[in-house]
Structure 1
Amino acid sequence: MNTNIKPAELNYCFISGSVLSPSLLNAIQRWGISVYVEPSTPPLPETINILENTEAASLIQDQDATVMMNWEASLAFIIENLPQQRLNQVKAFKNKVIFRELVKELYPNLFYQELTRDNLRDFQLPKEVENVVLKPSLGTASIGIRTIKGQQEWGKAVDSVLKDIDVAKEHMNPAMLNDASFLVEEFVDGDEFACDGFWDSNGKTVITGIYQHPFASSLDVSDTVYYTSTKVLAQTIEPTMQVLEHIGAKLGMRRFPFHFEFRKSNNQIFPIELNPLRFGQVALPDITEYAFGFNPYDLFFTDKAPDWDSLLNDASNSKVYAFVLADIPAKYEPDKYSFDEKSFCNSFGNRLLNYLPSNPQITPFFGVAHVVADRVEEILAYLNLDFEGFLRGREKD
């Protein structure tokens, strides 16, 4: 631990959303971290020091202040009050076009181009590029992201993307989602992963967790399942560290948490995006604590790094730990249906570690399950959960 880091001083956490990570809340209480709470957040334990608006805004303007949030909904308040250097760093990551520029020297042959909403429909794929990904330059939660196979699919995909964004913009802050600019980039086929970590007080990259993000099909863009294990970490940690060290050095990063998404193809990783000032949302990092026995938020608040060499050489740790998001089916209407949480939890049997309910009026899911299994195949089966089967009709008056 850096002896200059005093967790209760200059460390501030911004909490929003209806799913609160037990790992995060435990770390906040353990280290006496002050918290700013967005509206519609469930009550926090009384032992937590809650900051008022003006106090929180003033504190994070300090050049030495360290900021962590648990969900994107806090970002608008944060960026209005950050000092300029930290604000520039956040913008470099939130804008997917700027981020692509940041790493382009690592991938000089990878095609990408910025487009505006007005010229989206006129875009023509380069002859040497078969498949592309279209995404809003400023976005979150996979909204408006499409993988497009060839020019013949372009027009239909654009219509679908714009429709998704128009709907989502009605209840999202412009700091989270914007349709002024888009990034189209060459699709890299490979397994998808996410990584949590931070740059410490010396600028060194600290990885606190890596999760594989499988999909049910080539058309699936959901966040239904993430899982971690010693195998997942062992096959990805070194190339991931190299890319993050490059990014950190270019921007002079210090005391800055991130959630980094990438694909792995032919033993090389290809960045998708890097979300600033947070780890994975809605209690994803909790599976790291289940899997490896340390709390990733403890490490961030105290500027420590995990001993991955020892952890990955532990032959007794062979289980797979997963996060399963209970998606809201298309037919769901809150006045007609309720979600049967008990049946959902029972579907995991003795694999269930914890269940965190959500408010489907605030989030696009019912809740989150943390589970453990002996084999990855058992986890992959949850990609095909029929969430419609957990709906129960409400009794009419």
Structure 2
Amino acid sequence: MILIDKPYASDFLIQTIKENNFEIIATEAAKLMIADPSLNWISEQKAIQKIKDNPTIPIYSNSENSIGWVEEHLHFTKLPQQISLFKNKLKFRALIADIFPEYFFKGIKFTDLKNINVHHLKFPFIIKPTVGFFSIAVHKVDSAKEWESVLNAIENEVSNFKSHYPKQVIDITDFIIEEYIDGEEYAVDCYFNNKGEPVILNVLHHIFSSANDVSDRVYSTSKTIIETYFTQIQSFLQLIGKKANLKNFPIHIEIRVNPEGKVYPIEVNPLRFGGWCTTGDLAWYAYGINSYEYFLKGKKPDWNEIFKTRESQKYSIVLLDNGLGIPENTISHFDFEKLLKDFKKPLTLRKTDFKKYPIFGFVFVETTAENEHELSTILTSDLQKYIILKSRVNNESN
């Protein structure tokens, strides 16, 4: 069963629903987003009854905006409690505290941030909303002298972005301050099957431009990336699954692996894979894995077979964000044609409405060792050369 909500459902996901005749719940949001009467629409009332009759039925959502619907209509299931365990980072840290007894974390009200004595904290640390999305208001703090500027940045981001998502997705009432884990960051799409066993569908390396970068610009996957920590990740997922009693449950989990190879969780995003149909779709372009179909049908990738034809390729998602904070009313358009020329092998381009959300779109690309510099170039770019301002258009027309 599929639960669709804003902000975005890809053509690939919609086509998957159609080809498999998956049931899609006819919520108001879903009907507004997808105008295709040929899909296997099921009324909200019928969906709720089917779930009452079979509480373990697999449910996939493209967006955490749907959490409100789950809380309102599926309160008789374990889903609201399980979702809350992961969406609320304080609850999640408490859940796994016995696995990581040395790990420091602390909850604090947004209104109390200005009053905290930062000198009593261990540097470096990460501060972020306990319920958040898309690295919004997430900051690494290396020293006490940075605290004032970080607070100002958080206030600005909260003011700019809190209206874009419902409270279940981003809630700035509470923040969490937690220990910074040195190491490489990865994102994992997986699901727990009807036996509670984790099935890994993709592993992506979250690449940063610097030690203080917390953006979501580039995520890459490859044979090497998946194989390097596969066993450690699988073992860690088994622990999480048992702790939260997960069955028929998809997640997108962000982790860090320290220099000794120990896996530390950053956050778990419930009931979905990567937001905006990113990592879930990329698995198809990279490995021929339809993540949505694999979850809903309980299928498991044969990685040995998949990697026979994918030895050296790297597949990446590039987030085209408005990192400069340019006011959208001053922007004419984003030059996607120019962007695509900077990549040898773009796989697909998804444009978004930058007037509604602070992103211009996403591009999926394939690279090899000879042109991997494309990723480092776009990683450090402020994208200014692609952002066409209205003033420039007006000057050129005069």
TM-score when normalising by structure 2: 0.88
State the 1:207 CA deviation: 0.7
User: How many percent identity over aligned positions?
Assistant: 26
Cα distance in 1 between the residues matched to 2:98 and 2:373: 37
Q: Is structure 2 residue 118 aligned with structure 1 residue 129?
A: no
| Higher RCO (CA 8 Å, separation ≥ 6 residues) | 1
Alignment of 1:50-129 (within 5 A): 50-56=41-47, 59-60=50-51, 63-82=55-74, 83-124=76-117, 129=122
State the 1:251 CA deviation: 1.8
Counterpart contact for 2:328–2:354, Cα < 8 Å: no
Give the match for residue 383 of structure 1: 379
Q: Is structure 2 residue 318 aligned with structure 1 residue 318?
A: no
Cα distance in 1 between the residues matched to 2:389 and 2:112: 45
1:20/1:91 CA distance change after superposition, 3 Å: same
Q: Is structure 2 residue 13 aligned with structure 1 residue 20?
A: no
Cα distance in 2 between the residues matched to 1:127 and 1:174: 31
State the 1:255 CA deviation: 0.2
State the 1:352 CA deviation: 0.8
State the 1:60 CA deviation: 4.8
Counterpart contact for 1:96–1:138, Cα < 8 Å: yes
Select 1:369's aligned residue among 363, 366, 369.
363
Select 2:270's aligned residue among 266, 276, 282.
276
Give the match for residue 285 of structure 1: 280
Secondary structure (helix, strand or coil) at the match of 2:115 reads: coil
1:125/1:392 CA distance change after superposition, 3 Å: closer
Counterpart contact for 2:187–2:252, Cα < 8 Å: yes
State the 1:382 CA deviation: 1.9
1:57/1:144 CA distance change after superposition, 3 Å: farther
1:393/1:133 CA distance change after superposition, 3 Å: closer
Give the match for residue 145 of structure 1: 138
1:250/1:331 CA distance change after superposition, 3 Å: closer
Secondary structure (helix, strand or coil) at the match of 1:79 reads: helix
Cα distance in 1 between the residues matched to 2:139 and 2:72: 30
Instruction: Spell out, residue by residue over 1:225-246, the C-alpha distance to the aligned partner (whole angstroms, 9 max, x if none).
Output: 1110001001121111111100
Cα distance in 2 between the residues matched to 1:168 and 1:46: 33
Counterpart contact for 1:323–1:371, Cα < 8 Å: yes
Q: Which moved more, 1:277-286 or 1:166-175?
A: 166-175
Secondary structure (helix, strand or coil) at the match of 2:103 reads: coil
Alignment of 1:297-336 (within 5 A): 297-312=292-307, 314=308, 317-328=311-322, 329-334=324-329, 336=331
1:352/1:84 CA distance change after superposition, 3 Å: same
Give the match for residue 3 of structure 1: none
1:41/1:17 CA distance change after superposition, 3 Å: farther
Letter paired with 2:358: P
Secondary structure (helix, strand or coil) at the match of 1:50 reads: strand
Cα distance in 2 between the residues matched to 1:191 and 1:263: 5
Counterpart contact for 2:164–2:356, Cα < 8 Å: no
State the 1:223 CA deviation: 1.2
Counterpart contact for 2:3–2:66, Cα < 8 Å: no
Cα distance in 2 between the residues matched to 1:131 and 1:393: 38
Letter paired with 2:361: G
Counterpart contact for 1:18–1:359, Cα < 8 Å: no
Secondary structure (helix, strand or coil) at the match of 2:161 reads: helix
Cα distance in 2 between the residues matched to 1:189 and 1:236: 16
1:322/1:44 CA distance change after superposition, 3 Å: farther
Cα distance in 1 between the residues matched to 2:174 and 2:94: 15
1:372/1:138 CA distance change after superposition, 3 Å: same
State the 1:332 CA deviation: 4.5
Letter paired with 2:7: G
Unmatched tracts of structure 2, length 5 or more: none
Letter paired with 1:298: E
TM-score when normalising by structure 1: 0.88
Cα distance in 1 between the residues matched to 2:165 and 2:78: 26
Cα distance in 2 between the residues matched to 1:109 and 1:102: 14
State the 1:336 CA deviation: 4.3
Q: Is structure 2 residue 388 aligned with structure 1 residue 392?
A: yes
State the 1:130 CA deviation: 2.1
Alignment of 1:125-204 (within 5 A): 129-204=122-197
Cα distance in 1 between the residues matched to 2:172 and 2:178: 17
Instruction: Spell out, residue by residue over 1:252-293, the C-alpha distance to the aligned partner (whole angstroms, 9 max, x if none).
Output: 111000000011112111100000000012222222222222
Cα distance in 2 between the residues matched to 1:374 and 1:45: 39
Give the match for residue 35 of structure 1: 24
Secondary structure (helix, strand or coil) at the match of 1:80 reads: helix
Q: Is structure 2 residue 261 aligned with structure 1 residue 261?
A: no
Unmatched tracts of structure 1, length 5 or more: 1-10
Give the match for residue 243 of structure 1: 236
State the 1:100 CA deviation: 0.8
1:341/1:44 CA distance change after superposition, 3 Å: farther
Counterpart contact for 1:60–1:81, Cα < 8 Å: no
